[in-house]
């Protein structure tokens, strides 16, 4: 318990350092675009593939679960849309990004720590935590919500493809369902979630990397920890945000 509190305190102090005394704006923006490309753009393929497949699977599962003839067939489209926007495209995708992006960030920063590259920056008088972490935080928190939107649309497309291929329901029923009782607020809710999850992934992974020690073995360990801790934090945050925003 004491150890956990200490860890949280250390994390908060690091975040304070990240947001104080940022380096020159020009240097920040340059790094921001590099990070946006590496952390967000490069995640598009995996997110796209997963979203299309999951959209398809949700449609099949919903269709076979609605056996009651009194429930209209368009419910398949409706259900697909709701599960995609409410949970899948934010929480599930965030958990996948925690693995992909989180391990990338923590191992990169961790190896800079153990090879004294971070010390070298500090020695020059550079705020290394701000230089290394702030652009990554900004890039992922700003752009990952767009990744969530893309995932949502591709999930619907995946569902549509399955409808066309298998004919579980008619395409007309499916698209009618997609438009049924549509609430734009859910999309907003999901984008907010994604932004917060991204902040968690990036900051937690950067934290474990920044304080890595014990050679390359230590870097490996800290990236495993980064993934576990950010995944659990995402689940907890999901609960809290949902309670706050959908109540």
Partner 1 sequence: MIRTVNLSKKFGDLNVLNNISIDFKPGNCSLIIGASGSGKTVLLKSIVGLHEPDEGEVWYNDSLYNQLDFKKKKEIRKEIGMLFQGGALFDFATVEENVMFPMNFFTQWSREEKLERVNFCLKRVNLINANKLYPNEISGGMQKRVGIARAIALNPKYLFCDEPNSGLDPTTAILIDQLIYEITKEYNITTIVNTHDMNSVMEIGDQVGFIHKGHLVWEGDKNNILSSDNKELNNFVFASNMAKRMRDMMSEHKQ
- Which residues have C-beta within 8 Å of that of residue 190, sequence separation ≥ 6? 85, 86, 89, 90, 148, 152
Q: Is 116 in the site for partner 1 (CB under 8 A)?
A: yes
**Of 27 and 232, which CB lies nearer to partner 1 in the complex structure?**
27
Encoding tokens for residue 95? 């958990």
Q: Cβ distance 101 to 201 under 8 Å? A: yes
Beta carbon of residue 11, minimum distance to partner 1 (angstroms, whole number): 20
Beta carbon of residue 137, minimum distance to partner 1 (angstroms, whole number): 18
CA distances, 65 to each of 69, 76, 117, 176, 225 (Å): 11, 9, 56, 19, 38
Residue numbers 119-148 binding partner 1 by CB under 8 A:
119-120, 122-126
Task: Using CB under 8 A, count the residues that bind partner 1.
Answer: 16
Beta carbon of residue 103, minimum distance to partner 1 (angstroms, whole number): 17
The 4-43 contact track toward partner 1, x by CB under 8 A, reads -----------------x-xx--x----------------
Q: Which part of the chain contacts partner 1 (CB under 8 A), choosing from 63-71, 87-95, 118-126, 140-148?
A: 118-126
The DSSP-derived string for 200-225 is: HHHHHHHHHHHT--SHHHHHHHHHHH
Q: What's the rounded Cα separation, in Å, for the pair 113 and 226?
A: 15
CA distances, 235 to each of 68, 98, 241 (Å): 33, 12, 10
Task: Say how many C-beta atoms besides its own lie within 10 A of residue 37's C-beta.
Answer: 12
**Of 112 and 206, which CB lies nearer to partner 1 in the complex structure?**
112
**Of 58 and 112, which CB lies nearer to partner 1 in the complex structure?**
112
Q: Which of 65, 115, 179, 216 binds partner 1 (CB under 8 A)?
A: 115
Beta carbon of residue 39, minimum distance to partner 1 (angstroms, whole number): 14
Closest CA to 80 of 105, 51, 101: 51
Q: Go through the chain and tell me how many residues it has.
A: 247
**Of 30 and 183, which CB lies nearer to partner 1 in the complex structure?**
30
Residue matched to tokens 């706050």: 244
Beta carbon of residue 222, minimum distance to partner 1 (angstroms, whole number): 18
Beta carbon of residue 162, minimum distance to partner 1 (angstroms, whole number): 43
DSSP 90: I
Contacts to partner 1 by CB under 8 A: 21, 23-24, 27, 111-112, 115-117, 119-120, 122-126
């Amino acid at each position: 318990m004491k150890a956990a509190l200490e860890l949280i305190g250390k994390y908060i102090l690091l975040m304070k350092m990240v947001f104080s005394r940022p380096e020159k704006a020009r240097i920040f923006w340059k790094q921001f675009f590099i990070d946006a490309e590496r952390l967000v753009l490069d995640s598009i393929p995996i997110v796209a593939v997963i979203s299309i497949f999951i959209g398809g699977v949700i449609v099949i599962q919903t269709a076979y679960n609605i056996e009651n003839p009194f429930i209209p067939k368009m419910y398949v489209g409706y259900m697909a849309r709701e599960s995609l926007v409410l949970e899948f495209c934010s929480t599930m995708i965030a958990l996948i990004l925690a693995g992909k992006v989180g391990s990338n960030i923590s191992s990169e920063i961790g190896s800079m720590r153990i090879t004294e590259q971070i010390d070298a920056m500090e020695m020059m008088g550079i705020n290394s935590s701000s230089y290394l972490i702030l652009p990554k935080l900004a890039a992922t928190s700003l752009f990952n919500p767009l990744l969530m939107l893309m995932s949502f649309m591709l999930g619907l497309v995946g569902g549509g493809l399955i409808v066309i291929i298998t004919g579980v329901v008619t395409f007309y029923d499916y698209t009618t369902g997609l438009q049924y009782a549509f609430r734009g607020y859910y999309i907003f809710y999901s984008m907010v979630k994604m932004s917060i999850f991204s902040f968690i992934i990036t900051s937690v992974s950067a934290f474990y990397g920044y304080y890595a020690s014990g050679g390359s073995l230590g870097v490996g360990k800290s990236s495993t920890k980064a993934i576990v801790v950010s995944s659990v934090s995402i689940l907890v945050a999901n609960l809290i945000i949902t309670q706050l925003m959908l109540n």
